[in-house]
């Protein structure tokens, strides 16, 4: 069996714009986009914060460049919902998402 390349893990904390109507209009497209990334194994968990002024996603990707491409194609980016993002790379050492 060949070696499986190491994947990079990132957390993305997005702050939404204050335009609630626009957020609610774009949200279904954003969620559909993320569902596709879940199916491809790139998104492990995602959802809005309890106050619904932002959201949080954990990504598993090849590298930061791939993450940047995925974020650039996200409807929250293309339609101006993201007012800002904090992105951190994480070294996962424990948990159910690690290969056995």
Q: Tokens 């499986």 label which residue?
A: 4
Rounded CA gap, 69 and 46, in Å?
18
DSSP 29-96: HHHHHHHHHHHTTSEEEEEE-TTSSEEEEEEEESSHHHHHHHHHHSHHHHTT-EEEEEEEEE---SST
Share of the chain above pLDDT 90, in %: 83
Q: What is the mean pLDDT of residues 71-85?
A: 98
* pLDDT at position 5 over 70: no
Q: What is the mean pLDDT of the chain?
A: 92
* Residue boundaries of the structural domains of the chain: 20-85
CATH superfamily of 20-85: Dimeric alpha+beta barrel (3.30.70.1060)
* pLDDT at position 97 over 90: no
């Amino acid at each position: 069996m060949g070696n499986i390349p190491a994947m990079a893990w990132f957390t993305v904390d997005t702050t939404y714009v204050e335009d609630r109507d626009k957020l609610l209009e774009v949200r279904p497209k954003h969620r559909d986009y993320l569902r596709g990334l879940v199916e491809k194994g790139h998104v492990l968990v995602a959802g809005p914060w309890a106050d619904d002024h932002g959201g949080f996603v954990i990504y598993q990707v090849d590298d930061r460049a791939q993450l940047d491409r995925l974020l650039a194609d996200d409807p929250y980016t293309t339609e101006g919902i993201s007012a800002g993002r904090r992105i951190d790379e994480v070294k996962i050492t424990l948990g159910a998402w690690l290969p056995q």
